[in-house]
Amino acid sequence: MAEAERIIGTPDTPDGGEAGAAAVPDGSGATASAAPGAGADAARRTGRGRRIAVLFAVAAFAYALDIVSKLLVVAKLEHHPPIRLIGDWLELNAIRNPGAAFGFGAAFTVIFTVIAAAVIVVIVRLSRKLYSFPWAVALGLLLGGALGNLTDRIFRSPGVFTGEVVDFIAPKGFAVFNLADSAIVCGGILIVLLSFRGLDPDGTVHKD
């Protein structure tokens, strides 16, 4: 099998990765040539900053939607009959979930809390070498969703790190979930699609 061909390049870096030397003052009245590639390096740093901004903007948006929706559900829907949205197919039904996404693993609340915290740390560390806009969106969705459910684990009853997550979206024949779960699933699906296309978080593309 042929060794994987790796194509290096990002949307922020010109092909070839080299920029012409620029004349800059050296402090003595003469001029010196800047190091080749300085312009490309600056462009990559700017591109990475923009991608990091996208990641955290998406995470903040997903997190805010999740927190606001849960506050409304607890205040208006909890301890009340479910609200039907589309006949018997979709309703809003507030429940407290001690398990993972979609109600799985109710006996391992603390473990899922630790996993969520670890995911957040990994995403933040990965952001330091992020140059891909689609990856920034995907990781932002994962980060926002993980933060949303982790907030419940820490601040809701019955206690710190064992708090129950508020779920309320109840399709017929499926587990009840929330917007944080939706963000995590959408981010995961996007990561799978990007991986199939050969796009890495650092902006490189590989083709087998």
Tens of pLDDT, residue by residue over 95-136, are: 998 865 555 555 556 777 888 889 999 999 888 889 999 999
Stretch among 35-39, 61-65, 102-106, 134-138 having the lowest mean pLDDT: 102-106
Question: 114: domain range?
Answer: 56-207
- pLDDT at position 32 is 46
Confirm if 43 and 13 have CB atoms less than 8 A apart.
yes
85 lies in some domain: yes
Confidence class for position 207, pLDDT limits 50, 70, 90:
confident
- pLDDT at position 21 is 45
* List of E strands, the chain: 5-7, 23-25, 31-33, 83-86, 90-97, 165-171, 205-207
- pLDDT at position 8 is 42
80 lies in some domain: yes
Average pLDDT of the residues of the chain = 80
49 lies in some domain: no
33 lies in some domain: no
Which residues touch 19 (CB under 8 Å, ≥6 apart)?
A: 36, 37, 38, 39, 40
CA distances to 20, 112, 115, 121 from 128, rounded to whole Å, are 27, 25, 21, 12
Q: Number of helices and strands (H, E) in the chain? A: 4, 7
pLDDT digits (tens, 9 = 90+) for 195-204: 999 998 888 8
Q: Which residues are catalytic?
A: 167, 181
> Number of folded domains in the chain?
1
Q: Cis ω on the peptide bond leading into residue 158 (within 30° of 0)?
A: yes
Confidence class for position 40, pLDDT limits 50, 70, 90:
low
- Give 73: exposed, middle or buried? Use CB within 10 Å, 0-12, 13-18, 19+: buried
10 lies in some domain: no
Residue type for position 18: E
Is 55 or 23 the better-scoring residue by pLDDT?
A: 55
202 lies in some domain: yes
152 lies in some domain: yes
Whether the pLDDT of residue 169 is over 70: the answer is yes
As a whole number of angstroms, the distance between CA 13 and CA 143 comes to 27
191 lies in some domain: yes
